[in-house]
Amino acid sequence: MGSNPNSRRASRIPRLIAGLTLTGLFAAQSLALAAQESTGQQGDPPQRLEELIPDSAVENPDDWAADRAQTAQGGDGGQVQSDLQPDSPLTDTPAITLDWPDDLQIAEPERIERDRDAQEALADAPEIEGPEELPLKEFEVGKRLVIGFPEDGDIFPERDEFLARFRSFSTIRELGGGEGNVAQLAARARSDEDLLNRLLRIYGYYNAQVIRSIAGLRPGRDGSEPAPRVRFDILPGDRYAFGAIDLGGLDTAPDHDALRGAVGIESGDPLSSDRIVQGRFGLDEALGESGYPFAAIKDPELLVDHARAEGDLTMPVEPGGKYAFGEVTSNVPKYLSDRHLERIARFDMGDTYQRSLELDLRRAIVATGLVSSVTVTPRETAPPEGDKPGVVALDVTMEKAKTRSIAGAIGYGTEDGFKVEASWEDRNFFPPEGMLRIRGIAGTREQLTGITYRRNNFRGRDQLLTVDAYASNVKTEAVDARTVAVRGAFERLSNLLFQKPFSWSVGAEVLFTDERNRVIGGIPRPRQEYLIGSLFGRATIDTSDSLLDPTKGFRVTAFLAPEVSRSQGSETFYLRNQLDASIYKQLNEGMVIAGRTRLASIQGAEIFQIAPSRRIYAGGAGSVRGYAYQAVGPRTDFGEPTGGRSLVEFSLEARIDTGLMDGAVSLVPFIDMGTVSLKTTPDFRFVNWGAGLGLRYNTSFGPIRVDVGVPLNRNPLFDSRVVVYVGLGQTF
């Protein structure tokens, strides 16, 4: 077959273009433009590209392009002149000969019959009334946001809870009154619309409508600034209900009926995601408290069927068998033995397993202060057989903490002068939990050395056995005493981890003391020796919500101590008693009112028969603030406080949160009153009043207290104008 020259040339054009250099391309472009200018206004348009490019150009494109560029420039470098002028007339536009279809006839389209099934489905669908048909009530959520709910509260009974929840997450509400522009407000409106739709689905309203609008322009403060507001109209529609409920293998548990009731969800109940969460939590708690240590609950799934307006709940449960408590084992038996751990546990072998008791055992071990970490792991020792539960042992793994410590303090006080304190202790010197402490005090008014033995969790949980022996020399405002004493007590007390509604202590004390009333100027009184034996008991009822910083509840403590005192060859029997009561009331979120009263008396002996250190005194940080320790009460002609045989005290203070430092700082104005009488019943002859202002700084271990007190009926000879007290915890 022969070849066509034009086709051969056309096939070479890509090779020509590929071979042209940049200069050659510009030359070819100039050539084409020149050809167009020479023919565009005078005759036929230029021929095809294959006719403009000869075969020689294909063989050597760069040389051909250079020759053509020189030709285009007129040979001597001049430019080719074009006949085209700016004012040349345009060629007339060719006439359009197509007739306009004036008589065009369009056929009528075929009518489509309505789908009867679809029509019936729409008729059965619940109708949602629009805002104009359903009366709405407005609720202002913020300066820039309004929500409209159906006026009839029965249509959406969860409205108040819904609004409170929405307020917590609304982005428009965070915007404030004057911040942001309309675009930012619109973006936040879209976000809040999504939030509303999610919340509606949480409450089971899956066909609800949320109508959003940004309008309601209102003048600003100066009458010119527009303040756009966002409005959401909520049409909740019908609430979906729970359909089928599948709890997996829960029915294999021996007490599955009670466990099923803990879920709290039945088919037909209004659908709510919150109820699903609560149901899972309730079931998990019931399993843990009913003897199922190995139970497992998988994540719940909700399948919503819009045709039925129901949601089917699937929450697979693996009960894992029912068990009772077995033994408790320790990984460090010489440090904290198995027997000791079983003693502090609140369960006995054979009791039905409860997760809360397992956690309680862990907390009790932490409260000993002897471990740095502890884990408690249930271990099956006997499997369940029929209705008979299996047995689980609790394996306790502990890391020892440092038990020895040295402590010291040095300071100065207006009441005590200089004081240096030091102590050494080993909290597990006698395992388990047998503490030995050696302490000493050297100060202006007090010198002491002592040794203390204390056994925590003695023969039972939270029971303490304490034996303390000491020798001291004390000079207070009222007493100058040199004492040697031994004191023992058996107690069941509250602590920071386990505050108890009822606590008690009983004990005995024997002491030998050489003392006298302290004389401030005048003739010194002779010293007198006393040998005193005492039994004592204390009981406390405590309904307050905190040991160190209570905000509600009350406390009542009663103390009785029958004593026998032998001095100068004679014996005296008397009864010391005291009643303390305090009450706490929270008026609002930032204020607590606290009140305290104290009544005390000594029955059965005259004042001179009672050693000065055993008499009743008032004044000081925990008594009548504004006065020195033991400075309130009757005095001798030499100005020495004599103490008395009866006491009445009353204190009232307000604990006001300032909001400073994230609420850590509070102010406490207070007023105190106290009277000490020489008789066994108060006669109110010597009544002292004190008032002042306190500062509290809350820490993780309780408030640090600073009180500044002023005596309102100050004795210029003995009382300071201002007294400062520092301590830990509230005054009462």
Walk along the chain (732 residues) in steps of 10 and give the mean pLDDT of each run: 44 43 42 41 48 59 58 47 55 54 58 46 38 73 84 87 88 63 79 91 92 62 59 91 94 92 94 94 96 95 94 95 96 95 94 96 92 96 92 97 92 76 95 96 94 95 95 89 96 81 96 82 77 97 91 96 94 96 93 96 94 92 90 83 93 94 91 95 90 91 88 87 86 88
Q: Which residues pair with 724 in a beta bridge?
A: 708
DSSP H helical ranges for 73-181: 116-124, 159-169, 171-175
Residue-level pLDDT at 9: 43
Residue-level pLDDT at 644: 93
Query: Is there a contact between 428 and 335 (Cβ–Cβ < 8 Å)?
Result: yes
Angstrom distance (rounded) from CA 614 to CA 600: 12
Query: Is there a contact between 329 and 338 (Cβ–Cβ < 8 Å)?
Result: yes
CA triplet 390, 396, 397: central angle to 5 degrees? 140
The two most distant CA atoms of the chain are separated, in Å, by 156
Angstrom distance (rounded) from CA 601 to CA 596: 17
550: cis peptide before it, omega within 30°?
Answer: no
**β-pairing, 310-318 with 241-248?**
parallel
Residue-level pLDDT at 288: 95
DSSP H helical ranges for 203-324: 256-263, 273-289
Residue-level pLDDT at 3: 44
Angstrom distance (rounded) from CA 300 to CA 283: 12
Q: For the chain, what percentages of helix, strand and coil (3-state, to nearest 5) are there?
A: 20, 40, 40
**Which two three-digit tokens encode residue 565?**
């005192």
DSSP H helical ranges for 249-408: 256-263, 273-289, 338-344, 355-367
Residue-level pLDDT at 558: 97
Residue-level pLDDT at 525: 72
Query: Is there a contact between 457 and 430 (Cβ–Cβ < 8 Å)?
Result: no
Angstrom distance (rounded) from CA 392 to CA 529: 62
Name residue, tokens 């599955």. Answer: 256
Measured over the CA atoms of residue 384, residue 387, residue 388 and residue 391, the dihedral's sign is positive
- What residues have CB less than 8 Å from 291, skipping those under 6 apart? 322, 323, 324, 352, 353, 354, 389
- Phi and psi torsions of 194, nearest 5°: -60, -40
| Gap between the terminal Cα atoms of the chain | 120
3-state class of 383 per DSSP? coil
- How many residues are recorded in the chain? 732
DSSP H helical ranges for 159-298: 159-169, 171-175, 182-202, 256-263, 273-289
Give which of 683, 608, 678, 602 is closest to 644, Cα–Cα.
678
- What residues have CB less than 8 Å from 502, skipping those under 6 apart? 539, 540, 541, 542
Residue-level pLDDT at 186: 80
**Which two three-digit tokens encode residue 728?**
């830990």
**Which two three-digit tokens encode residue 486?**
């031994």
